[in-house]
Amino acid sequence: MKKLSVITLILALSVVANVGLIAFVIWLATHKDETIPTICGDEEPNPKLFKDATYQNIFEDLNSSEINEVLDYLYSQSELKLVKPDKANLTTNYIIGLELHVPNKSQALKFLDGNGREIPPAREAKAYLFLPQNDPPVVEEYIVAPIPRPTRYYHNPRRIKDIPYRVRQFSNTEMVVAVNLLRKEVATKVENMLKRSYGASFICKKNCLTFTASAVSSAFSKERKLWITSLYQLEFATLHPVGFQILINMDGINASNWKIEKLWYANKMFSSVEELVRKYENNEIPKALIRPPKASPGETSVPGSLNIRGKRFPDVPTSGPKQYEPQGHRYRVRNQHVDYLQWEFNFRMSYASGIQLYDIKFQNERIMYELSMQEIIVIYAGATPHGLYAQLSDSAFGIGNRAHGMMPGVDCPEHATFVDSVIYNEDNLTPKTYPNAICVFEHNTALPLRRHRSGSSRSGFFNSGLVDYVLILRTMFVMFNYDYIIDFVFHQNGAIDVKVHSTGFILSSLYYHEEGAYGFRVSESSIAPVHHHLFSFKADMDILGTKNRYMTLDTEVENRTRKWYENGEYHTQLTFKRNLKSTEQKAAYKYNFNTPKYHLIINNDKLNKYSEPRGYRILGKGFSKQILPENHGFERTITWSRYQMCVTKRKDSEDTSSSMYSMFDSGDPVVDFVSYINDNENIVDEDLVAWLSLGMHHIPHTEDVPNTATTGNEMSISFLPFNYFTEDPSMGSRDAVRVDSKIKSKGQKADVTIERYGTPHKFSCLAKQYDFQKIVNNASVLFQQP
Ligand SMILES: [Cu+2]
């Protein structure tokens, strides 16, 4: 009996214990410990924040399997005689790049505006092919369709002119030949001279020279040529030139005809390696004597590197402020489609020309069909070939494949959404993922978008404002030494900004007195030349439809009398005139401070409450005058840069302002932008495209070392609603805060209310932090390593 009781007791206790354990587990699952804060926004965002979960993005870039399908199809077309990039050389046909061929606008709009009733346009690829085996050798852009299961390819109908092989973009195949030629014809023959002149050489284990190549634009030569500049192989090379330069003539597809045409050494030009070496050995020329730069006393890093040096601050290491999203993202990025408050748009990365946005809508109305980058150029100067010939068109290297590896916490906030791009180019046999190519984040600018404090009994005591929360889509292109940051910024009042910042390492030339006309010394041995950065953007505006007008409001001074004014005297004041631009030539705007004006794209059929046409204003802050003479050399292929803004009638065949061929085609540009204007079509009540140029003249100074700072180097274009809404559309924002203070009777304490429109404002969560171990574990997040 006693024994039974003990067993019963044990059993009972065990049941109680189990029930207790289960109850504790249930309690744990349903009660978060109030003392341990959760991570801010760890949950999925509320789906009610977003519009359409099933959105089909017809602008989404080709994915890896789509690219592979297109590659397989093209390789199976025997008449194209294509080889794979690892077997390619100057004389073989091969695919140098491939990307989505964006549908024609008419087809795209039919689908986008079809309320789900229309089928999407067929997905197509655009393949860039080198076809040296054709007679004559050409570059072809073939459209491959449909995807999936391609069955046909045809010439890109938007490309009107043939593309001669000579004007092709840069390729690995020709760089391999150029490097071999340098190694065989120069490096060994001048090794002795280089070691004695510079204490370094190309054949080395330490104290090495490296080089950069800058194409000789067709401004200077009908043939395809490359100037090579020698530099110390240090962090970062472009700050350490030694002044030894080599001109390679790489015209034609027969590598055996390529030759070293000129050499520049100690400020003198030579016609051959043999002439240079002979004159050097015979002491017939002055000899350069330069040594690799060393760290300053007390420092470990070479001047120009990015290691910390100088007086350290703050005195105690402390972290600066960070941003966090207390309730998680208020935007969604899915299939390259962004949904944010009242905004939505699509984005993609063009292998050729960089970042592009499509179908930008605010409050369900399309503002722009396309907002895209077109070209980046830099025009250098100098007393030696290196600077003098450097008039560079960056798309010749492909811009889209220069964006990857943005660093969380520095390049974009830690809470940003990082998006990879998938690019196919000749570097790989298969498509490659480029991590962190684009980032999207909501940002608290810490600046009120609008605010007012009223403190008088006449108007009342209130303070109302709205922080300028914005969504930013950002990418960065690293064009070897220089870094360009491109932001698209979406505000709550319907405004969009495009911002360009430049940073990175400057190019420099070896210092000697003649270079003083072109720059300032930035180190013991180098001088950085003046240059002009220019950027081309396309804005295909659709204000309440495609039937739009371009009008300027030209501010003027009027002198007039009024009967009631001061004894009938003249008075002088501002006024403005509406100036409707009827044709493309009248809409080509060259920078002119004497006639300040507003640039408006309006819809004359859609009037606001006060019978004014609804529209958007385009505001350029960074318009920069291109002062090279028209039709002189390189200028012929960058005719977009003549205009800070021009408006043309939209055509599928006038797709871009520039092309990957603009480095070498100024004799007869493949994209002849000025012809878009010269035909002088009517632009009243037509589908309009605004072509916008930004730029800055850069005269580098010592503070550009080691990197140009973004501050002071910002250029932007804003697209601002103008008589489009009846009032500021941000008035509907629950992010606003209003404080009222009312005094019921004199001498009493004021009755103060704070209105936040239901938006929570007290949080006890922990800011989400990026796990940097991801980078330590996988360097490819930042670097594309061989
Ligand atoms: Cu610069």
Could you state, in order of their start, the residue ranges of all structural domains in the chain? Answer: 2-49, 64-157, 172-281, 331-505+531-698+708-732
**Three-state SS at 463:** strand
Query: How many whole angstroms from 701 Cα to the centroid of ligand 1?
Result: 10
Look up residue 275 and give its amino acid.
E
Query: How many whole angstroms from 714 Cα to the centroid of ligand 1?
Result: 12
- % of the chain surpassing 90 pLDDT: 74
pLDDT reported for residue 50: 85
Query: How many whole angstroms from 524 Cα to the centroid of ligand 1?
Result: 20
Could you report the per-residue pLDDT of 419-469, keeping only the tens digit for each? Answer: 999 999 998 899 999 999 999 999 999 999 999 999 988 889 999 999 999
Could you report the per-residue pLDDT of 718-731, keeping only the tens digit for each? Answer: 999 999 999 999 99
End-to-end Cα distance, the chain: 81
What CATH fold (topology level) applies to the domain 331-505+531-698+708-732?
Beta-galactosidase; Chain A, domain 5 (2.70.98)
pLDDT reported for residue 11: 44
The residue-averaged pLDDT of 572-589 equals: 96
Query: How many whole angstroms from 698 Cα to the centroid of ligand 1?
Result: 5
Query: How many whole angstroms from 103 Cα to the centroid of ligand 1?
Result: 36
Identify whether the C-beta of residue 260 lies closer than 8 Å to the C-beta of residue 246: yes
Token pair recorded at residue 645: 């803004």
CATH number given to 172-281: 3.10.450.40
Could you report the per-residue pLDDT of 652-681, keeping only the tens digit for each? Answer: 999 999 999 999 888 889 999 999 999 999
Query: How many whole angstroms from 213 Cα to the centroid of ligand 1?
Result: 18
The whole-angstrom separation of Cα 618 and Cα 544 is 16
Identify whether the C-beta of residue 500 lies closer than 8 Å to the C-beta of residue 354: no
The whole-angstrom separation of Cα 354 and Cα 347 is 11
Instruction: Give the strands of the sheet with 519-521, arranged side by side.
Output: 509-510, 526-529, 519-521
Extended beta strands in 622-750, E state: 645-649, 688-698, 714-722, 737-742
The residue-averaged pLDDT of 206-218 equals: 85
518's torsion region: left (phi>0), alpha (psi -120 to 50) or beta? alpha
Count, in order, helices (H) and strands (E) of the chain.
9, 36
Mean of the per-residue pLDDT values for the chain? 91
In the residue annotation, 616 being an active-site residue is answered as no
Query: How many whole angstroms from 621 Cα to the centroid of ligand 1?
Result: 17
The residue-averaged pLDDT of 120-145 equals: 97
Query: How many whole angstroms from 512 Cα to the centroid of ligand 1?
Result: 21
Query: How many whole angstroms from 533 Cα to the centroid of ligand 1?
Result: 6
The catalytically annotated residue of 331, 482, 484, 643 is 482
The whole-angstrom separation of Cα 644 and Cα 716 is 12
The catalytically annotated residue of 339, 394, 540, 735 is 394
Token pair recorded at residue 630: 């028209």
DSSP 740-785: EEE-SSTTSPPEEEEE-TT------PBPP---THHHHH-GGGT---
Could you report the per-residue pLDDT of 252-298, keeping only the tens digit for each? Answer: 889 999 999 999 999 999 999 999 999 999 999 999 999 998 888 88
Query: How many whole angstroms from 323 Cα to the centroid of ligand 1?
Result: 30
Largest CA distance in the chain: 126
User: Residue 228: in which H helix or E strand, if any?
Assistant: strand 225-232
Q: Where residue 18 falls among pLDDT bands split at 50, 70, 90?
A: low
pLDDT reported for residue 2: 43
pLDDT reported for residue 786: 54
The residue-averaged pLDDT of 367-390 equals: 94
Token pair recorded at residue 581: 């631009």
Query: How many whole angstroms from 708 Cα to the centroid of ligand 1?
Result: 7
Query: How many whole angstroms from 413 Cα to the centroid of ligand 1?
Result: 25
Listed range (212-216, 273-277, 415-419, 635-639) with the worst mean pLDDT: 212-216
Same fold, 64-157 and 331-505+531-698+708-732: no
pLDDT reported for residue 309: 85
Burial string for 691-729 (b: 16+ CB within 10 Å, else e) reads bbbbbbebebeeebbbbbeeeebbbbbbbbbbbbbeeeb
Q: Which residues pair with 368 in a beta bridge?
A: 360, 541
Query: How many whole angstroms from 700 Cα to the centroid of ligand 1?
Result: 7
The whole-angstrom separation of Cα 501 and Cα 708 is 10
The whole-angstrom separation of Cα 634 and Cα 532 is 13
The residue-averaged pLDDT of 726-738 equals: 97
Query: How many whole angstroms from 583 Cα to the centroid of ligand 1?
Result: 35
The residue-averaged pLDDT of 89-115 equals: 96
Query: How many whole angstroms from 710 Cα to the centroid of ligand 1?
Result: 11
Query: How many whole angstroms from 707 Cα to the centroid of ligand 1?
Result: 10
Query: How many whole angstroms from 386 Cα to the centroid of ligand 1?
Result: 15
The residue-averaged pLDDT of 524-548 equals: 96
Q: Which residues pair with 607 in a beta bridge?
A: 613
Strand duo 82-83 + 93-101: pairing:
parallel
Query: How many whole angstroms from 654 Cα to the centroid of ligand 1?
Result: 30
Token pair recorded at residue 654: 């006038």
The residue behind tokens 């001669």 is: 164
Query: How many whole angstroms from 392 Cα to the centroid of ligand 1?
Result: 12
Is pLDDT above 80 for 125? yes
Query: How many whole angstroms from 354 Cα to the centroid of ligand 1?
Result: 19
In the residue annotation, 484 being an active-site residue is answered as no
Token pair recorded at residue 392: 């560079």
pLDDT reported for residue 566: 75
What CATH fold (topology level) applies to the domain 64-157?
Nuclear Transport Factor 2; Chain: A, (3.10.450)
Is pLDDT above 60 for 32? no
Among 342, 424, 406, CA closest to 734: 342
Query: How many whole angstroms from 421 Cα to the centroid of ligand 1?
Result: 27
Query: How many whole angstroms from 683 Cα to the centroid of ligand 1?
Result: 36
DSSP 682: B
Is pLDDT above 50 for 633? yes
Instruction: Report how far apart, in Å, the C-alpha atoms of 397 and of each of 131, 211, 302, 480 are.
Output: 18, 17, 30, 10
Query: How many whole angstroms from 623 Cα to the centroid of ligand 1?
Result: 16
The whole-angstrom separation of Cα 397 and Cα 641 is 20
In sequence order, which ranges of 346-455 are alpha helices (DSSP H)?
385-388
Radius of gyration of the chain (CA): 31
DSSP 483-523: EEEEEEEE-TTS-EEEEEEEEEPPP-EE--GGGGGTEEE-S
The whole-angstrom separation of Cα 366 and Cα 368 is 6
* Total residues belonging to the chain: 786
